[in-house]
Amino acid sequence: MTRLSLSLILVIVGCAVACQRAEVSPVNMQTREVRDDLGRAVRVPQKIERAISLAPNLTEMIFALGAGDRLVGVTTYCNFPPGAASIEKIGDTQTPNIEKIIALRPQVVFVSTASQLEAFMQTLNEQSIAVYVTNPKTLDEVFENLIDLGDLLGSNRAAEELVASLAERAANVRQHAIAPTVPPDSSAAEPRVFVQISNEPLFTIGRDSFLTELIQQAGGVSVTKDVPSGYPKLSKETAAALDPDVIILSDSPDNQRPSAAFKDSKAVKIGRIHRINADIISRPGPRLVDALEEIKRMLHPGN
Amino acid sequence: MLLAISVGSERLSVFDLSDTQAAIFFDIRMPRVLLAACVGASLATAGASLQALLRNPLAEPYLLGVSNGAALGTMLAFVFFEQFVLARPVMAFAGAGLATAVVYQMARSRAGMNVERLVLSGVIVTTFLSSIIVLLTSLLDAARLRGFTFWLLGDLSQATMNGFYLTFAAAVTGTIVLTAQARPLNLMMIGERDALDFGVETGRVRLIVFGVSSLLVGTAVAASGSVGYVGLIVPHLVRLAIGSDNRLVVPVSAVAGSIFVVLADMVARTAIAPRELPVGAITALIGAPMFIYLLRRN
């Protein structure tokens, strides 16, 4: 009996000490105010030691900056780079586990869209955990994000070098993305590209997808660039009438072949069907430049 | 029907078709319109017969959970027997039959079967099956089941001629068999005891109606997902127009159901072209207010 109550007391005291320590640490930190992509003022510590990423593109960016060791939590979708695998998982991007996030005692939580924010900003603010929102929609915005994140994480040098090298690769692609031997008005100069996200039902990219711009930079034109929204379900009748020169399949088990609607298209007849890693074309992060280079090789293999 | 075939996200002139336009017309638009017609006929016929059998104006495959049973069956077939094309309609039929049996057992009481009891049983079975479907979609590989979320709301965009043949066969056979049961159903609407006095084998009629409507709903759902409320709206409009003699209501519902789903899908195909809406959203938009109206009138 005495032993039991003694151990109970020990547990309570232990908890009190531990809880106290958790509360004390952020107070001692020097903080500063920054603006995130939504223009919100966010107060973050001068030196960020513990951060959580709620999106795979953010995880990739933070690792690319050499700051992966600062991440104490990532989502189950965060499968790249390999180092992300050993980090604690806090659930997926849509349904993160808020208790787990708080238990990991992060100073900052990085989220990728405003929609994620609403759900738990208040709870996290009450725990004095900063929430920083990034929302890159173009390659240039990915570069801006890398600079901002570098500044936040104290990796300014690394960020500048990384962006310089990525920007150079992108410029190199743009330079070689036109075939010099063909007249600029022929279809070979600017192949008409259809990106198939899934076969049944038929989903593609629309006006608001960053891939539309990426294809443009790779020297092609997306045949669905004027369709409203980011990732529309497309009428098969329209798909059949589009007659693309090239079809790019987002590589997943249910998307290995072009839709039957394309059976008479130029792309199918001459066999210009390509597959591309679904992760690198769905995450606006550093590997978007890999995607750009790969798409350029598909559209203009010669140069 | 002609209207639906002539309208789509691409403008076509029937008299002057290029190769691509011919492909659009014969490979994409025709199978879809034909499938929509079969799905409409199946759901409306099943709804009309279930309403007569259960003497309940709110009996409807979607509301009773029969469609969800078929949807779960289709999904399980997709997960476990992906390579067998026929597994989906067969499992959908099994799921629909099972859901029908469960709802019927739950709704029956010593005092008979009243409207509230039946609708409540339907709600329970529907939500229970929905939760299993949601559970499955969260447990299984997300990319593989991405199409299902769209399909669950009713989606005719995956129509092919092969899918059409099976649904067509089921719709025609089902309508004929159920029309043949119309006279006993008429008698049973007066009262089961009276029907027995007239020599109607009520048990046999019940088995046939449950079995055949499960078959109709199963094949329709396997081909197009859960297109809701068709079995509710169509038979009611038909009864308003021609009275409640099942010998007419059942076959006329089949025809009217075809027209209704074909038109609803035409809206789904063209409203925001070149993008598409799920057809189930259109039918529910019309059907749910109608359900409330019928409930109040009761």
pLDDT at A19 over 60: no
pLDDT at A285 over 60: yes
User: CB–CB of A236 and B274 under 8 A?
Assistant: no
Mean pLDDT score of chain A: 87
d(CA B51, CA B49): 5
Confidence bin at A23 (pLDDT 50/70/90): very low
This model of the complex carries an ipTM of 0.82
Q: What is the pLDDT of residue A114?
A: 61
d(CA A209, CA A214): 9
State pLDDT tens for residues A146-166.
999 999 999 999 999 999 999
Backbone angles phi, psi at A243, to 5 degrees: 50, 60
User: Does B10 reach chain A within 8 Å, measured CB to CB?
Assistant: yes
State pLDDT tens for residues A215-243.
999 999 999 999 998 999 999 999 999 99
Q: What is the pLDDT of residue A3?
A: 55
Closest CA to A72 of A93, A92, A86: A86
Q: Give, in order, the Cα–Cα distances in Å from A49 to each of A156, B174, B257.
A: 16, 68, 64
For residue A229, is it left (φ>0), alpha (ψ between -120 and 50) or beta?
A: left
Instruction: Going from the first residue of chain B to its last (298 residues), give the mean pLDDT of each consecutive group of 10, the final group possibly shorter.
Output: 75 69 86 95 95 87 91 88 84 94 85 76 92 83 68 85 91 96 90 83 91 95 90 91 92 95 93 89 88 75
pLDDT at A12 over 60: no
pLDDT at A262 over 80: yes
CA triplet B8, B10, B11: central angle to 5 degrees? Answer: 90
d(CA A225, CA A221): 8
Long-range contacts of B241-248 (CB under 8 A, 24+ apart): B244/B189, B245/B182, B245/B186, B246/B48, B246/B49, B246/B52, B246/B182, B246/B183, B246/B185, B246/B186, B246/B189, B247/B179, B247/B182, B247/B183, B247/B186
Q: What is the number of other CB atoms lying within 10 angstroms of the CB of residue A23?
A: 12
Asked if B250 and B178 touch (Cβ cutoff 8 Å), the reply is yes
pLDDT at A181 over 70: no
Model pTM score: 0.84
d(CA A131, CA A115): 13
Asked if A92 and A108 touch (Cβ cutoff 8 Å), the reply is no
pLDDT at A180 over 70: no
Closest CA to A42 of A111, A119, A96, A136: A111
Q: What is the pLDDT of residue A184?
A: 54
State the number of CA atoms in the 13 A half-sphere of B185 facing the CB.
27
CA-based nearest residue in chain B for residue A264: B20
User: CB–CB of A227 and B274 under 8 A?
Assistant: yes
User: Does B180 reach chain A within 8 Å, measured CB to CB?
Assistant: no
Q: Region A61-71: what's the mean pLDDT?
A: 96
Please state whether beta strands A203-204 and A130-133 pair in parallel, antiparallel, or not at all (unpaired).
unpaired
For residue A278, give how far its alpha carbon lies from the nearest alpha carbon of chain B (Å).
Answer: 10
Asked if B70 and B104 touch (Cβ cutoff 8 Å), the reply is no
User: Chains A and B: how many Cβ contacts under 8 Å?
Assistant: 79
Contacts of B160 in chain A (CB under 8 A): 260
User: CB–CB of B274 and A234 under 8 A?
Assistant: yes
Q: What is the pLDDT of residue A24?
A: 42
pLDDT at A21 over 70: no
Select the residue from A95, A226, A236, A268 to test the B interface by mutation, using most B Cβ atoms within 10 A.
A236
Q: What is the pLDDT of residue B265?
A: 94
Backbone angles phi, psi at B193, to 5 degrees: -65, -45
Question: By three-state DSSP, how is residue A247 classified?
Answer: strand
Question: By three-state DSSP, how is residue A256 classified?
Answer: coil
For residue B81, give how far its alpha carbon lies from the nearest alpha carbon of chain A (Å).
Answer: 15
